[in-house]
Structure 1
Amino acid sequence: MSTLAELCLIESQPSEAHSLDDYESERPRWCSGCGDHGVLAGLQRVLRKNDLDPENVVSVSGIGCSSRLPHYLKTYGFHGIHGRALPIATGVRLSRPEIPVIVIMGDGDCFSIGGNHWLHAIRYNINAVVLVLDNEVYALTKMQVSPTTPDGWKTNTTPRGTYLKPMNPLSAVMGMTNVSFVAQTATWLPTHLDETIEKAWEHHGLSFVRILQRCPVFMPEAFGEGGVHFPVVFLDHEDGIPVHPSLLSRGPVQAHDHRDINEAQRVAVSVDPCPMGLVYQNPEVPAYEEVRWQRQERPDHRTFLQRLDTAMDRYTVG
């Protein structure tokens, strides 16, 4: 006769399965209400869902509030210099192609000083997840204008108001050769945020994800005070990012074929309402690691030194 325990037996997780605690490191020092907290939590949930060993993941960042994320995500982390996260990530991918790489940048870090690396990384299509946390301002250095700051907004570097139109990052990347994955989400849409990061993680190639977030200290009015009054439209496709029923009160749903580059380019230039979801995906674009010339074998440093000694001996003064 079976016991009650046997009848109610629930298959337990294997002992080696990871918990969310396994991906937590230092306590975040971001301000209360900062959207960076939500991105960190979303990344931790994706790593947990895929049961990845923390020591087998690398997170790379540049400079800014969002770039502190590798300190709080328990993986191998590289907190680089301003605008240079993508070259570092490329080096990691080329030297250790078996290790997943996450790149975290802000709007100033990526679109301004790192703009050259950003666009060429899209063209190279390295296999990495690239998250750009866009709060439309330089926040760590106390409110300077960034490439995505709306025109007319007053900052410490534009006290009379910005005089340039903000750039459209989606439109920029959709004009690049070899673009393979472009998506947009927001921190005030946590379910959509998680689904977007998961979709980006599954893609083979460079997954570019722009994440809208407001800075509660220096740009609290951004994005309609954090989505409250911000018009969005959710892009829907059976192979895209799911539109959860809870999102229907946030904005309308629009059918969108993310496999059609012409349609994706039309969507990318839209800013009102702001498109949320998978804008474009082409899994057929080869990753840079696959098309780059591969060294057949690593050089033997001992052989190299011997050859160097032989060459230098030719210049011995007798």
Structure 2
Amino acid sequence: MLAEESLLEVCAIEQHSLDEYESEMPRWCKGCGDHGVLAALQRVLRKNNLEPENVVSVSGIGCSSRLPHYLNTYGFHGIHGRALPISTGVRLARPELPVITIMGDGDCFSIGGNHWLHAIRYNINAVVLVLDNEVYALTKMQASPTTPDGTKTNTTPHGTYLQPLNPLSAVMGMTNVSFLAQTATWLPAHLDETIEKAWNHHGLSFVRILQRCPVFMPKAFGEGGLNFPVVFLENEDGIPVHPLLRKRGETQAHDHRDINEAQRVAVSVDPAPMGLIYQNRDLPTYEDIRWQRKDRPDRATFLERLDAAVDRYTVT
């Protein structure tokens, strides 16, 4: 039980309402999974009672990358594939601000592939959500790195020739990975729990969110989970598997702290693993390493010197 002083202090804190995290009306298509991710993010922000103006959401280009427009936080709509460098810059300049990075499969795995892999290695303290619908949808159906083999698109009219990229195994192959999870928009309770778990991790939390595009990929993921085999990972201190979820797929005991076991799970695609695949709480973040180096000035001095250097190029 809280002490009387602590209880009074908690009661004095103004609790934000859900609509305080809402912005303009989303312009996504009906049935798009982006709606569910936006709602889940708003619920997580409200649950943690975060000040909207003290949260930064960053995106690249794509349908999902419009999310900062609809989330009432400080938003940065970047350029294609470059959301992660922007997020890294925010974290280094303003480490007190939590950062959410939103990307699509083409934005992250193709055009931003180089930044994606190095962001994993840097382990900045940020939540990274990749909304994977297996296609470039904003530009009207071109093949992306995760498009299934044989899929006909505007860039592959005779069907794609290559096996799709497995982002989970790619992440687990990188040095310094600290958090990896997978969920889906047709599992809203699991989606909420996964984002909440990622939010509370200190380090780069990489979450792949499966969703179908109702316009260009309506049959993806078994028509949005209706006929898509999944296995829910059960682990201590992991993402809860609620009773109703057990009707949607099998469960599997999994130790998310064992990197070798996580790598084995990450390469499996049928059934698709759902839940917390890997977590390492002991890895330092890039911000921690950078600011704790003894040969570096303190942050205030560093910023003062940086401002002075930039002022040299002021045009009068």
User: Normalized against structure 2, the TM-score is what?
Assistant: 0.91
- Please tell me whether residue 113 in structure 1 is matched to residue 111 in structure 2: yes
The answer for the alignment partner of 2:84 in structure 1 is 86
- Please tell me whether residue 199 in structure 1 is matched to residue 232 in structure 2: no
Aligned mates of 1:295, 1:125 — CA distance in 2 = 22
Aligned mates of 2:297, 2:231 — CA distance in 1 = 47
Instruction: Tell me which of 51, 54, 69 is aligned to 1:53.
Output: 51
- Please tell me whether residue 75 in structure 1 is matched to residue 77 in structure 2: no
Shift of 1:304: 5.7
Aligned mates of 1:82, 1:167 — CA distance in 2 = 19
The structure that has the greater radius of gyration is 1
Structure 1, unaligned runs of 5 or more: 1-11, 310-318
Q: Secondary structure at the match of 2:39?
A: helix
- Please tell me whether residue 272 in structure 1 is matched to residue 270 in structure 2: yes
Q: Secondary structure at the match of 2:175?
A: coil
Shift of 1:301: 7.2
RMSD: 1.7
The answer for the alignment partner of 2:297 in structure 1 is 295
Shift of the 14–33 alpha-carbon distance from structure 1 to 2, 3 Å rule, reads farther
Question: Deviations for 1:85-115, whole angstroms, at most 9, x for unmatched residues?
Answer: 0000000000000000000000000000000
The answer for the alignment partner of 1:158 in structure 2 is 156
Shift of the 304–99 alpha-carbon distance from structure 1 to 2, 3 Å rule, reads closer
Q: Secondary structure at the match of 1:209?
A: strand
Aligned mates of 1:189, 1:170 — CA distance in 2 = 19
Question: Deviations for 1:45-70, whole angstroms, at most 9, x for unmatched residues?
Answer: 00000000000000000000000000
Shift of the 191–303 alpha-carbon distance from structure 1 to 2, 3 Å rule, reads closer
Q: Secondary structure at the match of 1:248?
A: helix
The answer for the alignment partner of 2:61 in structure 1 is 63
Paired residues of 2:81 and 2:107 also in contact (CA < 8 A): yes
Q: Secondary structure at the match of 2:247?
A: coil
Aligned mates of 1:305, 1:68 — CA distance in 2 = 32
Shift of 1:73: 0.2
Paired residues of 2:236 and 2:255 also in contact (CA < 8 A): no
Aligned mates of 1:140, 1:36 — CA distance in 2 = 13
Instruction: Tell me which of 158, 164, 168 is aligned to 1:170.
Output: 168
**Aligned residues, how many?**
297
Shift of 1:78: 0.1
Matching residue's letter, 1:178: N
Shift of 1:15: 6.7
Question: Deviations for 1:148-182, whole angstroms, at most 9, x for unmatched residues?
Answer: 00000000000000001000000000000000000
Aligned mates of 1:301, 1:183 — CA distance in 2 = 37
Q: Secondary structure at the match of 1:275?
A: strand
Shift of 1:16: 1.8
The farther-off stretch of 238-247 and 125-134 is 238-247
Question: Deviations for 1:261-293, whole angstroms, at most 9, x for unmatched residues?
Answer: 000000000000000000000000100001124
Q: Secondary structure at the match of 2:223?
A: helix
Shift of 1:295: 3.4
User: Normalized against structure 1, the TM-score is what?
Assistant: 0.91
Aligned mates of 1:119, 1:301 — CA distance in 2 = 28
Q: Which runs of 4+ in 1 moved over 4 A?
A: 12-15, 300-306
Aligned mates of 1:291, 1:54 — CA distance in 2 = 28
Q: Secondary structure at the match of 2:224?
A: helix
Shift of 1:302: 8.5
Shift of 1:17: 1.0
Aligned mates of 1:283, 1:302 — CA distance in 2 = 35
- Please tell me whether residue 234 in structure 1 is matched to residue 212 in structure 2: no
